[in-house]
């Protein structure tokens, strides 16, 4: 492989597996690490049984069962094939990205760089000892946190739909900017299609970023402000209804794909940006 030696930390959904497969094709991947399913403790169970929390979780579960019926994400990224890693022998599982087992694995495999997409927040020794790049599903700093495609559409800003590649620091999506990847927007798009298209485009940009990192030309840029941090609990049924009404009143504007690298003003437009 011509790319750097990397460890990939990612989720298990089709979008995460797609990115891991693209990185396997453009870098020397030494491991693909998933977090184990949530372990329920007594404290966590009691917290989630609070009426307000339980109500939000049940509503999100019902919403997602409807939205993901028929597994459209798998078809978007894998067509008729079963979503899977192309290098299953690289798969590892850890209790969480904060578990000492992950640090021990990294020290044993000695990656030059750790690539992240779809994990819980990374803190501690791993962040202190290795450079980490994250793919975030929003355009930082204005859209940090969760459900950023939804919020960009909800706020009437489809031009702010996109993904950010950035170095990880102690904050939430606040590290040095590498690239903004804005997918093509089509009038009949919905939130999920736009998000998945952004991830698909970003997988190619991620590979280019690794090439630039290996060449020593990937310095990134300090984010110009803190923007806004959206949290999962912010996405209420009222916000959902407001977006549904907005999309029912008018189609989305047609916008070209865009790619901006930081620092500097390099940009591209078109389907493959």
**What SS3 class is residue 203?**
helix
What average pLDDT score do residues 88-109 get? 95
CA-based torsion, 192, 194, 199, 200: positive or negative: positive
pTM of structure:
0.90
Q: Which two tokens stand for residue 267?
A: 């940009």
- Read off the DSSP letter of residue 138: S
- Read off the DSSP letter of residue 182: E
pLDDT at 265: 47
User: For residue 264, is pLDDT > 90?
Assistant: no
Bridge partners, 9 (sequence order): 33, 116
- Read off the DSSP letter of residue 232: G
Tell me the pLDDT tens digit for each residue of 13-36: 999 999 999 999 999 999 999 998
Q: Which residues contact 45 (CB under 8 A, 6 or more apart)?
A: none
Q: Which residues contact 270 (CB under 8 A, 6 or more apart)?
A: 256, 257
Choice between 176 and 62, residue whose per-residue pLDDT is larger: 176
What average pLDDT score do residues 87-99 get? 95
Using a 10 angstrom Cβ sphere, with 0-12 exposed, 13-18 middle and 19 or more buried, the burial of residue 61 is exposed
Bridge partners, 142 (sequence order): none
pLDDT at 69: 82
User: For residue 115, is pLDDT > 80?
Assistant: yes
pLDDT at 67: 80
SS3 content of the chain, % helix, strand, coil (to 5): 40, 20, 40
Bridge partners, 92 (sequence order): 33
Helices 191-215, 14-26: axis angle to 10 degrees equals 20
What are the φ and ψ backbone dihedral angles of 125, each rounded to 5 degrees?
-60, -35
pLDDT at 52: 67
């Amino acid at each position: 492989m011509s790319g750097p030696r990397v460890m990939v930390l990612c989720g298990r959904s089709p979008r995460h597996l797609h990115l891991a497969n693209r990185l396997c094709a453009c870098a020397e991947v030494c491991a693909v690490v998933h977090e184990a399913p949530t372990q329920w403790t007594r404290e966590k169970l009691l917290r989630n049984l609070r009426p307000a929390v339980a109500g939000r979780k049940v509503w999100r579960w019902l919403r997602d069962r409807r939205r993901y019926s028929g597994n459209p994400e798998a078809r978007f990224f894998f067509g008729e094939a079963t979503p899977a890693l192309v290098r299953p022998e690289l798969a590892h599982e850890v209790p969480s990205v904060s578990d000492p087992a992950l640090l021990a694995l990294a020290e044993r495999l000695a990656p030059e760089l750790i690539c992240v997409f779809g994990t819980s927040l990374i803190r501690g020794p791993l962040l202190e000892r290795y450079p980490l790049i994250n793919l975030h599903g929003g355009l930082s700093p204005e859209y940090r946190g969760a459900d950023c495609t939804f919020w960009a559409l909800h706020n009437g800003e489809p031009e702010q739909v996109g993904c950010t590649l950035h170095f990880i620091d102690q904050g939430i999506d606040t590290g040095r900017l590498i690239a903004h990847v804005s997918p093509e927007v089509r009038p009949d798009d919905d939130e999920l299609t736009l998000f998945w298209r952004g991830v698909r485009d970003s997988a190619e940009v991620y590979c280019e970023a690794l090439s630039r990192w290996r060449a020593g030309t990937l310095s990134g840029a300090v984010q110009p402000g803190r923007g806004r941090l959206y949290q999962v609990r912010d996405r209420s049924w009222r916000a959902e209804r407001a977006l549904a009404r907005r999309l029912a009143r008018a189609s989305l504007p047609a916008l070209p794909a865009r790619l901006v690298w930081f620092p500097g003003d390099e940009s591209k437009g078109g389907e493959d940006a």
